[in-house]
Structure 1
Amino acid sequence: MKKVLSLLVVLVLIVSAFSGCSATNNTSSETKKTEDVKVAPADTKTDEASKEEPKKDVLTIALSADITSLDPQGHNDTKSERVSFLLFNRLFRLDTDFKVVPDLADTWSQASDTEWIIKIKEGVKFSDGSEMTSEDVKFSLERSMTMPKVKHVLSEVKSVEIVDKYTVKITTKTAFAPFLYTLVHAGTSILPKAYVESDDNFKNPIGSGPYKFVSWDSGDKVVLERNDNYFDENNMGQMSKIVFKIIPEGTSRTIALETGEVDIVDELQTIDIKKVKENSDLKLYETPSTRVDFFAMNNEKKPFDNQKVRQAMNYAIDKDAIMAVAIDGAGTPAKSVLAPSMLGYKASDYSYDPEKAKSLLKEAGYPDGFEMTIWASGDERKRIAEVIQANLMDIGVKSTIEMYEWGTYIDLLMKGEEQTLVLGWSSNPDPDSTLTPLYYSGNIGGMNFSRINNPKVDQLIESARKELDIDKRIKIYNELHTYIMDQAPIVPLFVKNNVTGANANLKDVELSPQGLWNIEKIHF
């Protein structure tokens, strides 16, 4: 027994010796952490503060499709516009109440019905440090007038002249009622002349906006960083970076919002409204809009060169069914080429009537129907196309659906290669911003996707643009609505509500009738 006890004592001494060596010569990170905790003074307030997460300084927004260009005069779509509005400034902009307010413009006046004198703010710097002058303004506006996707915006401008270093005179061809509204369009962004004339070709765009360009990984994301030298202190960027994440599939966008991968989904699927409402970490924003989704027919191609065929389509398509399937009822049926909130709106008499559609097809020489294709881009428009496809089968018309990537889709539509298409158009409050690009014959090859070429439509559009008396202008638009819907270049489908899902911790999120607004002001 004594021998056993002696051996145990020896073993204990050996183990103790080795433990001592380890503690002295090889202190582990675990030991350090333990020691730190032991010596830290007990302070409840400090403890709680250490648990708080640092304030997020990067805002991530999900887009349903990639942008088409970093050149603000090289695109005319809302996805690209989101980025352009942060990188570039215009002479004027819209506030959330859709009022025209100055952006780069400092003062402005009319010398006559056709002459505008506009002075820009002095000392505005582009992100490369160069100062903006009237030479940049003249260059940018004249360039806009030549760019295919936006040339319609300033089509009424006759000339732009330099008055002095910060002042230009813009002369319109005639009196032009919606002139200031045209100057809020992304296509009128003011660019540095020296940069555009360089050979960079908008790989690293230079602008004067509240954010600067960092990178564009096509199909994945666009990254911007705050411009700390921005000239407008009241509209400074609130986040260090803004990331536009491209997530084409609607359900995936909502999941990304739920998991915190993104902070905003500005085209929330209407079927996911309930999910967002019931999630305390998220917040839903919903407002009426000026956007009209429509089914357009290429008026230059058979059988849609026939007015009766186009009228038949207006009776054949069930708008209520489309709204139920595509947008879960979050909108109202469209009855004309403009939204009801627009100046001079007048509803058409079309209703869902397949028998009337069949009768019109028979009169047009197609008693047995015909075959056609429907072009679309994106999940929502695919669902719209599928309902239209089913509706047309009921009147003997067989259709196939062809899907395209967004950028490719717009480029092909401008070439007029489609038979029919599904699209949406968001507008500022002046009717001309919809009617001229979409229905004026001079914009065939541009945004006139139905390729309607009708002298009376042109004449009414021109008359309304020149008329400065608001009551007379309304009467012209009333007549235009009645006439153009009789010509039936499109089938108006619905006026969709703007629906945005966002992280509930975000502040200053605002929606205008055109959707997400003033992104630069959003913050945590």
Structure 2
Amino acid sequence: MNRRNFLKTTALAALATAATRWNFAMAEGTGSIFTLACPTSFPDLDPATSFSNDGAVLANVYEGLARYIPATETSEAKIEPLLATGWDVSADGKTWTFTLRDGVKFHDGSPLTSEAVKGSIERTKKIGGGASFIWGPVTSIETPEPLKVVFQLSEPQPLDLIASAGFAAWIYAPSVLDKDNAWFNAGNDGGTGPFKITRYEPGQRAVLDRADGYWGKVPENGFKTVSFEITEDSTLAQNMIESGQADWTYSLPYENLEALKSNPDLNVVVNPSFETLFGLYNVKRKPLDKVKVRQALSLAFPYDDVIAAGTSGFGTRAKGVIPAGIWGHDADAPVPKTDLEAAKALLAEEGIESGLELTMTYSSSQAIEAVAGELWKANLETLGITLTLQPMAWEAQWQLAKSNPEAAQDIFVMFWWPTFVTPYDYLFNLFHSEEKPNFNLGYYSNADVDAKIDEAAKLSGTDRPRAETLFREAQRKVIEDAAAVFMLDQPNVHIIRADIKGYKDNPAYGHITFVNELSR
């Protein structure tokens, strides 16, 4: 049996298993089901600490005070009230007063109040995990009225934008404030969202059912159940979406998109995104502790070939880590171009001889990362460097990188999309010094870069032009130091069934589908 037939047979066998799951769900009488074939699993369902692909689930269970609405051809980007109905900010930008929506109830039946907002954010800050850094400027939270909450800040910040974040901005019920991480990851929740978690099987699926008494508008023929099926095999995911076993998926090979577009049962939705692909160099391991070696590796990366072969031309060249569409993007950033002769010269300067071996880890569910690795590997072989490609499940890749830098990978490849729409999110999480690795998985540390990032963050609410300058200076230093290889920016490409109504992609919330807005 050849490899292609083997993969097809394997996928069909897995599809039969998926069909059994689907039929079982239908037999349970759960009603109208929206099924997502998700290429990654959900490592953390605690709304205080979730900071990965689990946002896809939590965004349908929890809500924040506000939501970011991206710009269109006819309108500018804006922040829209959600659990809040509006807000006021003092002249100095340091006091924000939010008015809460009346009549909202948590899934346990308790009402949304200012005390609940205060308790949620204080728990998130106290735990200090995930994206809790977004609340760093908040010095105190006051609750003068049941539906008014007042935030005092250490410096002027765009708190409406912060409150629209896709991580760490969730508001949850007072009854769950004392629950630990294990309680949430057993499939329990305390949100106000349109759905509640009714079944969670780690590594396999999460099932949500519609919450009674949801405050928001529910479309006619809206879905009653949401099933997140973890489907790391892209062949299986494609079979599921084509057969109708799934209603939504992404991360399918780009070369398959034309065939998918010709299928009348499917819609291929392509939109700009805030998503960028890069590889973080492990600066704690020799010889990657040398700037010129890292620069040489970046010069050996086949940028144009990866965009052509890996994205069928849909991708664009990354200009650092801050993608187009995010304020602070540097269209003139001095990123390197492929130049094998220049790479060879830098390696010679550092005395690097033929025989160097490096390991690159990447997510096994991301076809583009595999393509990038294979093409890079071929270029590096001409320089006498062996690049071992190590595909891993996302959680395993992440845990390896967070454990011990000296024993971790040489190059960590991943995508990043924003926690909230600011260059600070990209630079702080990926390149600001960390005592304990979280997402700075190249372990880069530069005091001058840290200072510029921190100062720019403080100025974001009062002097955006100066903040942009500082963010760009910080990014240019990261590029000069070759802390990472900046591979490409890619659009959002989602495949949905043609009978789904109301779908809109929001790049501020990477690969999140707000199922309450949809119907069949």
**TM-score, normalization by structure 2:** 0.84
Q: Structure 1: how far apart are the matches of 2:62 and 2:220?
A: 13
Q: One-letter code of the match for 1:422? A: V
Offset at residue 463 of structure 1 (A): 2.1
User: Paired residue for 2:42, among 50, 62, 67?
Assistant: 67
Alignment of 1:152-231 (within 5 A): 152-177=133-158, 180-181=161-162, 183-198=164-179, 201-202=183-184, 203=186, 204-231=188-215
Where 1:87 maps in the other structure, the secondary structure is coil
| 1:519 correspondence with 2:515 | yes
Q: Structure 2: how far apart are the matches of 1:150 and 1:474?
A: 22
Q: One-letter code of the match for 1:406? A: W
| 1:351 correspondence with 2:337 | yes
Q: Structure 2: how far apart are the matches of 1:121 and 1:457?
A: 41
> Where does residue 142 of structure 1 map in the other structure?
122
Offset at residue 429 of structure 1 (A): 3.1
Offset at residue 369 of structure 1 (A): 5.7
> Where does residue 5 of structure 1 map in the other structure?
none
CA contact (8 A) 2:293 2:350 kept: yes
| 1:496 correspondence with 2:484 | no
User: Paired residue for 1:99, among 74, 78, 82?
Assistant: 78
Q: Structure 2: how far apart are the matches of 1:422 and 1:290?
A: 17
Offset at residue 516 of structure 1 (A): 4.9
CA contact (8 A) 2:361 2:391 kept: yes
Q: One-letter code of the match for 1:451? A: Y
CA contact (8 A) 2:66 2:160 kept: no
| 1:84 correspondence with 2:70 | no
> Where does residue 366 of structure 1 map in the other structure?
352
Q: Structure 1: how far apart are the matches of 2:306 and 2:253?
A: 14
Q: One-letter code of the match for 2:493? A: V
Q: One-letter code of the match for 1:207? A: G
| 1:108 correspondence with 2:87 | yes
Which runs of at least 4 in structure 1 moved beyond 4 Å after TM superposition? 234-237
Q: One-letter code of the match for 2:69? A: D
| 1:328 correspondence with 2:320 | no
Offset at residue 474 of structure 1 (A): 2.8
C-alpha change, 1:126 and 1:312, in structure 2 (3 Å) is same
CA contact (8 A) 2:59 2:512 kept: no
Q: Structure 2: how far apart are the matches of 1:443 and 1:102?
A: 36
| 1:456 correspondence with 2:448 | yes
Offset at residue 236 of structure 1 (A): 9.6
Offset at residue 132 of structure 1 (A): 2.5
> Where does residue 276 of structure 2 map in the other structure?
292
| 1:377 correspondence with 2:372 | no
Q: Structure 1: how far apart are the matches of 2:84 and 2:219?
A: 15
> Where does residue 425 of structure 2 map in the other structure?
433
Offset at residue 179 of structure 1 (A): 6.0
Where 1:511 maps in the other structure, the secondary structure is coil
Q: Structure 1: how far apart are the matches of 2:32 and 2:514?
A: 17
Offset at residue 445 of structure 1 (A): 1.9
C-alpha change, 1:255 and 1:333, in structure 2 (3 Å) is same
Q: One-letter code of the match for 1:521? A: E
Q: Structure 2: how far apart are the matches of 1:234 and 1:304?
A: 53
Where 2:316 maps in the other structure, the secondary structure is strand
CA contact (8 A) 2:247 2:496 kept: yes
C-alpha change, 1:516 and 1:190, in structure 2 (3 Å) is closer
Q: Structure 2: how far apart are the matches of 1:178 and 1:491?
A: 32
Q: Identify unmatched segments of 5+ residues in structure 2.
A: 1-30, 72-76
Describe the superposition over 1:433-459 as per-residue Cα deviations: whole angstroms up to 9, x where unpaired.
Answer: 212211221475222222221111112
Q: Structure 1: how far apart are the matches of 2:143 and 2:346?
A: 57
Q: Structure 2: how far apart are the matches of 1:119 and 1:303?
A: 55
Where 1:188 maps in the other structure, the secondary structure is coil
Alignment of 1:214-293 (within 5 A): 214-233=198-217, 238-293=222-277
Q: One-letter code of the match for 1:421? A: F
Describe the superposition over 1:41-61 as per-residue Cα deviations: whole angstroms up to 9, x where unpaired.
Answer: xxxxxxxxxxxxxxx821111
Q: One-letter code of the match for 2:496? A: A
Describe the superposition over 1:474-516 as per-residue Cα deviations: whole angstroms up to 9, x where unpaired.
Answer: 3223323322211121111011111111111111111223445
Q: Structure 1: how far apart are the matches of 2:425 and 2:345?
A: 35
Q: Structure 2: how far apart are the matches of 1:222 and 1:485?
A: 39
Q: One-letter code of the match for 1:274? A: E
C-alpha change, 1:394 and 1:70, in structure 2 (3 Å) is same
Describe the superposition over 1:278-322 as per-residue Cα deviations: whole angstroms up to 9, x where unpaired.
Answer: 111111110121100001112222222221122112101101222
Q: Structure 2: how far apart are the matches of 1:311 and 1:119?
A: 51
| 1:465 correspondence with 2:445 | no
| 1:57 correspondence with 2:25 | no
Q: Identify unmatched segments of 5+ residues in structure 1.
A: 1-55
- Tell me whether 232-241 or 65-74 shows the greater mean CA deviation: 232-241
CA contact (8 A) 2:427 2:475 kept: no
CA contact (8 A) 1:178 1:430 kept: no
> Where does residue 423 of structure 1 map in the other structure?
414
Q: One-letter code of the match for 1:519? A: V
Describe the superposition over 1:28-74 as per-residue Cα deviations: whole angstroms up to 9, x where unpaired.
Answer: xxxxxxxxxxxxxxxxxxxxxxxxxxxx8211111001111221233
C-alpha change, 1:373 and 1:337, in structure 2 (3 Å) is same
**Matched pairs, number:** 468
Q: One-letter code of the match for 2:382? A: D
Where 2:258 maps in the other structure, the secondary structure is helix
> Where does residue 376 of structure 2 map in the other structure?
388
C-alpha change, 1:247 and 1:374, in structure 2 (3 Å) is same
Offset at residue 425 of structure 1 (A): 0.4
| 1:482 correspondence with 2:476 | yes
Q: Structure 2: how far apart are the matches of 1:74 and 1:304?
A: 31
- Tell me whether 379-388 or 271-280 shows the greater mean CA deviation: 379-388
CA contact (8 A) 2:261 2:268 kept: yes
- Tell me whether 228-237 or 143-152 shows the greater mean CA deviation: 228-237
Q: Structure 2: how far apart are the matches of 1:176 and 1:442?
A: 23
Where 1:158 maps in the other structure, the secondary structure is strand
C-alpha change, 1:235 and 1:157, in structure 2 (3 Å) is farther
Where 2:130 maps in the other structure, the secondary structure is coil
Q: Structure 2: how far apart are the matches of 1:431 and 1:391?
A: 32
Q: One-letter code of the match for 2:412? A: L
C-alpha change, 1:470 and 1:198, in structure 2 (3 Å) is closer
Q: Structure 2: how far apart are the matches of 1:341 and 1:461?
A: 19
Q: One-letter code of the match for 1:522? A: L
> Where does residue 438 of structure 2 map in the other structure?
446
C-alpha change, 1:518 and 1:318, in structure 2 (3 Å) is same
Q: Structure 2: how far apart are the matches of 1:66 and 1:219?
A: 6
- Tell me whether 114-123 or 348-357 shows the greater mean CA deviation: 114-123
Q: Structure 2: how far apart are the matches of 1:197 and 1:80?
A: 21
RMSD: 2.3
Max radius of gyration: which structure? 1
CA contact (8 A) 2:219 2:518 kept: no
CA contact (8 A) 2:79 2:160 kept: no
Q: One-letter code of the match for 1:506? A: I
